[in-house]
Structures are given as C-alpha cells and as structure tokens.
Structure 1
Amino acid sequence: MSGLGLSGLISGGDTRAIIEKILRYELERIENRERDQQKLEKKQQAWRDVRSALTNIQSKLDALRLPFVYRSRKVTLTDESVATISAAQGSALTSYSLAVLSLAQTHVITQRDDRVVANPNAQLGISGTFRIGNDPADLKEITIEADDTLHSLADKINAANAGVRANVMAAGPDSYRLVLTSDASGTANAIRLEEVAGTPLQELGLLSGGGSIANELSAAQDAVFTLNGIQYVRATNTVDDAVPGLTITLKKVTGAGNPVQATVELDPDKVLESVKGWVDAVNSALSLMAKLTSYNTETREAGILNGEMQIRRLQTTLRSMVANEVSGLPHNWRTLMDVGISTGAYGSADYGKLVIDEKKFKEALAKDAEAVATLFGAMRVNPALEPGTSITVIGTGDGSGRLTDLINGVTDSDRFGSTGGGWEGVGAPSEANPHVIEITFASARTIDQIVLYQPDNLASLKAFTLEYWDETSGSWKALATVDDYNGAVYTANFDPKTTSRIRLSVTATHGDAPVRLTEIQVGQYNRGAAAEMSRYLRQLLDVESGMVENREKTLASQIKRIRDTIGRLEEQLTARQKQLEAQFARMEEALARLQAQGNAFAAMLMGFYS
C-alpha cells in the first residue's frame, strides 16, 4: 500500500492504521490467492520433474527395444599379444584358429651413410629431375636445383602428394639425412624412384649405381595370416574383410605351427549394462514419485502431488510391466521375471522398485539371447513360422512349386530360385485377376506388422493390398493399400489386430512380371516390457495429448487465472485505498474548519468578557 498523506493530526486518530485495518480483509484475499499460486507452481515444477524422469527412462529404453544390444559380441584370444579382434553385433558365435606368418610393414628408405650432410640448410649443389611415388601409373616429377637444401627438397616431395612422406632426420652430431616413408603399408605401396634428367637420386645416395634402393630401413611387406587354415594376404595389419563382422588387428608373428584360438561370444556385460541403466532410471522415477505423493502421519505433511491419481496409476503401471506376458517363447519363459527381473518383495528395502538378479539374467542370455530380446519387445514372434500354419495361392499357378518357402524365415535373395529361397507365380496379375496369397495361422494371433521381402534384383510388386480376416464381421478388412511401389522390402505397421488369417492381393507388377517373393514375415504384437513401456511413455509425453502435457497445461491455466485474479484484487485494493484516503482527508479538512470556527468563537467570547 502507498503511504498516506494524512496522519490524523486534527482528529487525533491514526488514519494510516485505520485504513490498513479496513483493507486487511482485501489483503488477506490477495495473500490467500498468492499462497494458492505458490502451491500450484510447486505442483507445476513437480510435474516437470516427473516429465524429466520419464524422459530419462525413455532414453534408456532406446537400446532395449531394438535387437542390436542383445547381439553384442566379445572376442577372447588365448594370447592377446598376438592380435586384437572386435566383433560387430550379430557376428557368428564361433571359434577361429589364427596364425600370423608376417606383419605388414611400411616402406622406409634413406640416403647412404656416406651422403649425409652436416647442415640441412646448406645448398646441396645437385640438380636434375626424378619421379617418386608408389603407384607406377602416377609417379610425381620433382626437379631439384643446385641451391636446394635437404629441407627444401623434403618440402617439394611432400607438396607433390605422391604417397611418400619426406622428413629430415638427425643421424648424429652434424649429421642429417633425408628419410622417405610410404604413406601406406604393404608391398603394393613400396616407394618407387626413377631418374628423369641427370642422376640426382644417385648423387643424393638414395639409389645405387644400378638403380636399386641404396639404403632400406624397412622393407615394404604384406600381412600374411591364416584363419582356420585359410591363408589371407593384406596390405595392412588391420583387416575387416576376411570374416564378415570381424575386425582383426595383427600385432605379433606366431608362425604357422603356433596358432592362437579366438572365440566369438555373446557379450552379456553390454546387455546387462543397458538393462541396469533402464532399471536405475525406472527406480529413480519411482522414488521421485513416491516422495511427491508421500504423507507423514506424524507431522501430517504431504508431498506436493499427494492425492493425484495420475501419479499413482503411473507408478503402478511402470512396476507392473515386468509381468507383461509374451507368448510363443521357448524355455517356458513368459515374462521378464523368468529371466531375473522382478519387483522387490513386500517388506524388503527394494519393495516398490525393480530388481535384477544379475546371475540369473546372464544365465538366461547365455541360454537364449534372442528369446530375452523378445521378452523385452526388441524382437517379434512370427506366427507364420509356427507349426500348423498353412499357405495357399489363388488366381495364379505355383510356378516354382515352393509356396511354403514364403513362411520359412529366409528373407535374403541369395537362395532365390532354389529350394528354400522363395516363390514365383505364373503370369502377371491384373485388376480383373489379382494374385492372392493367403496365410492361415495355427490359431488366432494379435499382429501389428507385415513385411514383404522380394529378391533384390527381381522385385516386381507394384500395386497390392494387405488384408486381415475380421472374425466379428466375417469379412476381409484392409491393413494397407499401395498403388505404385518401387522397393524390394515393404513394411506395413498398423494398430494391433487379432485374426487367424491374412492375405496379400497383387493387382499389378512392374513390366507385367510374375509375382516374386522371398518371404512374408508377420509380426506378432509384442507386449514385452521395453516395447510396451516405450509406447506407454510416448503416449504420456505426447506434446499434443499426453497426460503429462495436459496436466502441465491445466496447472499453467490455473496459475494464470489466479494471477489475473490477484491483479484485479490489487487494482480494487488500490482504488479502495485511494477512496479511503480521500474520505479521511475530507474528514480532517472538515474537522480543521470546525476547529477554526471554534477558535474564532472562543476569541469572540474572550473579547466580550473582557
């Protein structure tokens, strides 16, 4: 409140105090609204913290909801001084016998000892032209002049980009020489020198009189090694093209009779690290939400989000997802609890959290990492591969006689045209005569993906429709319709549908070719914890309609309304204060006039009596 212009000097009353008492009720209304605003702002911040915690979970799920981490590999060697080997995800789990016969070397040459110079900046007094490089078809020409020095000659060679690096090295006190080093190792990258005009290379002591290298410090040499008895020759000691997925760095020669053993294995520690990161993120979020919704019966203090049912449901859902069942798995596994991930027992310190039994989990990985990946939702069960599935074709003949190849799990093109490698129809389909392939599952399945694989160089699909049989209506319903497709692999993702049959209807192909397919892969809807939790969090955090977003918007709207109310109340309070100040000012003025009149009357009486 602004200061008052009056203080009750005439009336004898404290007008400031009187006005403040009159306005006290209005002030309390504002203070109550401010307290409401502060509480809502704390709730708003709490929901932001919840959002951050959920976003952290989502980031940890990125590794677990895709199959790659479950295919992590490590390589162990019986002698790690011989080589280091890394394996890409999904590399074959097998063993190799490695023998190193020679290591790749870089070609290094220098001047003869009798041609070193005392001062690298002194003029050499040599002139002529020579060629240098390691590609016979692309040697670079260098002209040396009488006033060149070792340093200037090295600069000329380096500027030529001939695949050879020149350096001036100290060979001893007052002794310097030019050293030439090939940029790459291997015999194919040996340094080549040719005289063009004069004999500058011989005069420098790089070539002998017969034209051979005068002083070789390191011979150009290839790496030679064997893997399981098969010999390989490479220009470098790092080899990534001998075995798909393996990168081998050779370090020491073993000889043919002393090989080391290399074993490619699953790397359970990488998988465990990703799983623990997810578990920690979930537990951190659960702890945060427990704090925000807590209630202390002794102090009667409640967490800022106590009573908000959305948080309670969120806590329950996150914990319960480890119990999500995934059908179609071996080993009688159905949930993550079967492989060592569960909720803490009631009454234990871990109650209400996720707990991982590391030993049990690693044992499960060693037993069947692909099944563990499916439990997390990183891989789908393909019901078309299950026993009892049948496949038929309508509108065309079975040109290859191998229709069942479309549901055998082989997706690549390498075997197309041979048994197990795919199917080809007879003639071209049309609108009037579509070629229809129908798959009937052993029992009803809930699916959300179909992938069509075609041979890479013979892809023909152009216009087609994917459908599922709707048991309720007793009719076929479309999942995807394509009018002009040009790729080799088509993926249709859709909302989960429960059905016993699907079909592919092809009405046109490119160039009127027959329908050619290597596989029709069906993806069963996976409720694995990582996939399901990722879907759930994506819905919660959606910026348009997510629960967290809506809650934050609601709080922001409530805060704005309170701020607007406070603003109006403050305006009313200011107006009321000004009104009271004016009223008290007029009262003081009236009292002042009465006092003046009284004083005048008293003076008149005094004059009368005197």
Structure 2
Amino acid sequence: MASSINFLGSYSGIDSATIDAMIEAESGKVVQYTNKQTSITAEKNAWKDINTRLDSLFTKLGTLGEDKTFQSKTTTSSDATKVAITAGTDSAASNYSIEVTKLATSTQVTSGVIESAENKTIKDSLDLSGTFTIINHENAGPEVDGKPTTGGFKIEISKEDSLKDIVGKINEKSKESGIQAKIVDNRIVMTDSKMGKRDISFSGTGTIVKDLGFEAIPEENYKVGQTAELTIDGITVTRDTNSITDAVEGLTIELKGVTEASKPVTIGIKEDTDTTVKAFQSFVDQYNSTLTFVGDQLDVGDPSAESNKTGALVGDSSLIRLESELRSLMTQSVNSGNPSYNNLEAVGISVDRYGKATLDSAKLKTALADDPTAVKKILFQTTTTETPGIDEKGEPTTVKTEKEVGMAQKMRSLVDTYISEKTGIIATKSATYDKLSEDISKSITKFNERLEKKRENYVAMFTRLDTAMMQAESQLAYLQSQFSTNES
C-alpha cells in the first residue's frame, strides 16, 4: 500500500493534499458537533455558578432565622480587669453592679524536701519503690463495672523512676483523679483541678509517702482552696468557680480580681442591632449578586448587532421562573401581627424596577427597636390551620396543617428546589448536560471514523486511477514503438 501511495497523483494530479481538502469539505458536521458541545459545557458551567450563588443565598437566609441574629447582645464592663461578662441570646438588656470580695482558688499541696532527689537532676533515678496513693476530695478512684471505687488513685513507683517519671505517672491519672502535678525546685506540687475548699490526702506502702515528702506536710505547704464570693446588686453569691453561669440568666460572669471596697464594677447588656443589620446587609448583597448573575445569563444582548453576544442560558424557562419568583418574594406581604410592618420595604429593604434591593440601615434599626418580633415574623413565621376530618375509626376529628409563610422560609424553599443535590433542578440539568455531551462525543467519534474510512476509499480509488493511467501510458508507448518498427 505504501508503494502505491508514494506515486498518488503522479498521473491523475489528485494527491494527498487534494484528498485532505475533499475530507475537510465534508467535515463541517464535526464543527457543528463541537460547537454544540461547547455550548452545552457553557450552559452547565453557568448553572454550576448559579448553584454556588443560590447555596450562599440559602445560607444567608438561614442566618436571618438564628436566635443570635435577632437576640445578640453587646456587653460593657467598667473594669474588665476585675469582672468580664459574656451575654447569651436569652439574657435581658440591663445593668448590674458587682463587687468581688474573694476569687475561687484550688487546693494546692507542695511536698517537703525529697531527700533522695538532693544533688540529682529530675531525670536521675530516685531509687524508691512502692505504691503511692492520691486521695481526692471525693475519695473516688477509677470506675469498676461502671461504679466509682474508693481508696484513691494508686501510682506504682519502681527503683528506676526519676522525679520526672513519678510526676508523669501522677499526671497520667489526672483525668480521673482531678489532681495535677508539677516539679518546682525538685519538689512535687499537687493542684486540684476543681476550685473551692477541697481536701487532698496521700497514703502508700512502706515509707513511700515520707520518701516523696508528703508526710507531716508543713501548714504553709498545704493551701486549701477557697470559694468565690461576690455581690450582684447587693445579693451575695458564692460559687466554687470564677466563671459563673448560673447567677443571672443568660450571663457568664468571669471574675478576674478582687474589687476595692465600695467600688463595684458596673456591667451593661444592650441589644446588638449591628449584628442584625449586618445579617440583613449580607442577605441583600447576596440576593443582588445572584440576580445580577442570573440576568447576565438570560441577557439577549443586542440582536441587531453583527457580533451580538448573549448569555449562556438565554430563554431557559427554569431560570426565567427562578428570576421572577425571587423578585416576587422580595415584595410579598406577610401578616406579622403589626400592620406597620408587613413587608420588607417597611423594615428598610426596598426593591427597584430592575429587581435590585437596597437596605436602609436606619429604618431597619428603628423597626427592630419598635417591634423586633414583627420584623422576624416577616421572614420566619409558621401558621396552623384546622380543618374538619375523619379519623381511622370514622369519628369526626380536626386536622392541623402547618404552613411556612415567612419570606425567608419561602425563598429557602424555592432555592432548595434548585440546589437540592439529588432532586434539584440544577442537578437534573447537570445530568442531562453530561448525557448530551457524552452522546455528542460518541457521534463525533463515529463521524470521524466514517471520514477516515472515506479517506481510505479515496486513496484506494485514486491510486487505482493512477495505476490505470500508468498502465495505459505504458501500453500506448508500446504500441507507438511497434508502429515505428513496422514503418522502418
């Protein structure tokens, strides 16, 4: 075959370049396939971007429904070095006067001189052995069969153990015992992880307690913890912690230092409308971003322009419906229980004729100060209707039906029909695009195979033509030579 192709076109003038041109003229269908595939990819990517924007919109709408958005508080302290405050969503806006007379502390026990540790580093062996037992305030040991045992926490000490090893073994049981140990100047310092007036005692085999410096502990080495004492608006409060969460509902009071006599710390709790405004602004920004992108994908451009450029999803009915319903929801009315606040515009969100939303922060803050419940009901509200029915026994009954009527609820429901991973419109479209692209790829492959077959046929056909023309020329030359011989 190679030798035949080598002289392709030698007689007929139809060579490989001519055949390439003929094949090229017939390959226009491939260009159509490729263009269609490019268009499908562009549409799929556009929907992917829309999904990302809608997902963000869904999240920001959800944030509007969180308690912290409407019930967040700001706090102040006249002296945060003495008293700090954290306010939860269920705290009441108010002021409090706090005096701290005692901070809670933990019991701490420091060993006496450990004779075997003298003239040694903390990593050298102490040549001690025995069982050392730490007994905490509850006198509780490790659980057995789900029940705490008494007798404390046993530490097995061997002759090879250094001071560092022994402290390490004590701390291995800290999670259970609540007693933590450290080394200070070759002595062991034991600290209870809990605060308040609590006991720590020790026992052991042989002379191990004495060897570790915990026998006949000097008074100054045994510091019993104390309970925190404070007054809140004149009411005395005591707790075994410096982080008090149960004295005032919704407040965490952090005691940092003792206050001077008759110089209380004043703390204040106020409604944090800035957090609410920020959440509303974030929603408005994301709504505008989504609508702008959707509009770009539906843009028909200038049909009269020669090089008109349109959006990737021009005429897509699903996207047109999404755009229309999002705009409609922004202007819907909701019965909030307060006729002054029955739509978004009444609380500061206006929408122009192009669908762009704008937030008036001052107007929103006024509404929040006046009736925060009504503002939230515009966004999130579930109504219940009762209709008569018949139960399984045929007896008359009442059927209760709940319906979400808030703007944010409806918009999240709409968005979910598009972005749901399994049943969403975008997921369905994406699967359809993938199938179409796959089918086009198969069609391109088959078409290219047919073109290659046609090329082979052209090559074979024109090679035969060249061969026939060569043979005809050869025969003509032979006949001419014969005529010349006869004439001579």
For the criterion TM > 0.5, the same-fold answer is yes
Map residues 327-342 of structure 1 onto 2, 5 A cutoff.
Answer: 327-330=335-338, 332-342=340-350
Deviation (angstroms), 1:535:
0.9
Deviation (angstroms), 1:130:
6.7
Q: Is the 8 A contact 1:6 1:15 kept in 2?
A: no
Unaligned runs of 5+ in 1: 171-175, 381-446, 451-467, 470-475, 484-501, 506-521
Match in the other structure for 1:477: 389
Percent of residue pairs bearing the same amino acid type: 25
Q: Is the 8 A contact 1:206 1:213 kept in 2?
A: no
What do residues 195-249 of structure 1 show as CA deviations (whole Å, max 9, x unaligned)?
Answer: 8865954x766555xx653424x54111112223332222111122223332222
**Counterpart-to-counterpart distance in 1, 2:4 and 2:56:** 56
Deviation (angstroms), 1:567:
3.5
Map residues 182-221 of structure 1 onto 2, 5 A cutoff.
Answer: 182-188=192-198, 190-193=199-202, 200-201=209-210, 206=214, 208=216, 213-216=219-222, 219-221=224-226
Which residue identity lines up with residue 179 of structure 2 in the other structure? Answer: V
Going from structure 1 to structure 2, the CA distance change for 1:3 and 1:327 (only over 3 Å counts) comes to farther
Match in the other structure for 2:144: none
Deviation (angstroms), 1:191:
2.9
Q: Is the 8 A contact 2:197 2:226 kept in 1?
A: yes
SS in 1 for 2:191: strand
1:38 aligns with 2:68: no
**Counterpart-to-counterpart distance in 2, 1:102 and 1:482:** 66
Going from structure 1 to structure 2, the CA distance change for 1:559 and 1:107 (only over 3 Å counts) comes to same
SS in 1 for 2:92: coil
Match in the other structure for 2:255: 250
**Aligned pair partner of 1:592 in 445, 470, 477:** 470
**Counterpart-to-counterpart distance in 2, 1:132 and 1:543:** 57
Deviation (angstroms), 1:561:
4.3
Match in the other structure for 2:188: 178
Match in the other structure for 2:105: 105
> What is the RMSD computed on CA atoms of the aligned residues?
3.7
Map residues 329-478 of structure 1 onto 2, 5 A cutoff.
Answer: 329-330=337-338, 332-343=340-351, 345=352, 352-377=355-380, 379-380=381-382, 447=383, 449=384, 468-469=386-387, 476-477=388-389
Which residue identity lines up with residue 27 of structure 1 in the other structure? Answer: S
Match in the other structure for 2:143: none
Match in the other structure for 2:147: none
> TM-score, normalization: structure 1?
0.67
Deviation (angstroms), 1:530:
1.1
**Counterpart-to-counterpart distance in 1, 2:45 and 2:192:** 63
Higher share in strand: 1
SS in 1 for 2:139: helix
SS in 1 for 2:79: coil
Which residue identity lines up with residue 262 of structure 1 in the other structure? Answer: I
Q: Is the 8 A contact 2:297 2:311 kept in 1?
A: yes
Match in the other structure for 1:582: 460
Deviation (angstroms), 1:372:
1.6
Give the number of aligned pairs.
467
**Aligned pair partner of 1:135 in 100, 114, 137:** 137
Map residues 206-285 of structure 1 onto 2, 5 A cutoff.
Answer: 206=214, 208=216, 213-216=219-222, 219-254=224-259, 257-285=262-290
Match in the other structure for 1:164: 179
SS in 2 for 1:187: coil
Going from structure 1 to structure 2, the CA distance change for 1:504 and 1:146 (only over 3 Å counts) comes to same
Going from structure 1 to structure 2, the CA distance change for 1:322 and 1:77 (only over 3 Å counts) comes to farther
Q: Is the 8 A contact 2:336 2:375 kept in 1?
A: no
**Counterpart-to-counterpart distance in 2, 1:574 and 1:129:** 89
Higher relative contact order (CA 8 A, sep 6+): 2
**Counterpart-to-counterpart distance in 1, 2:55 and 2:368:** 27
Going from structure 1 to structure 2, the CA distance change for 1:537 and 1:14 (only over 3 Å counts) comes to same
Map residues 72-83 of structure 1 onto 2, 5 A cutoff.
Answer: 72-83=72-83
> TM-score, normalization: structure 2?
0.81
1:530 aligns with 2:408: yes
SS in 2 for 1:302: coil
Unaligned runs of 5+ in 2: 141-151
Q: Is the 8 A contact 1:120 1:151 kept in 2?
A: no
**Counterpart-to-counterpart distance in 2, 1:3 and 1:550:** 55
Q: Is the 8 A contact 2:83 2:256 kept in 1?
A: yes
What do residues 334-354 of structure 1 show as CA deviations (whole Å, max 9, x unaligned)?
Answer: 1111111222x46xxxx6432
Match in the other structure for 2:146: none
**Counterpart-to-counterpart distance in 1, 2:401 and 2:444:** 57
Match in the other structure for 2:71: 71
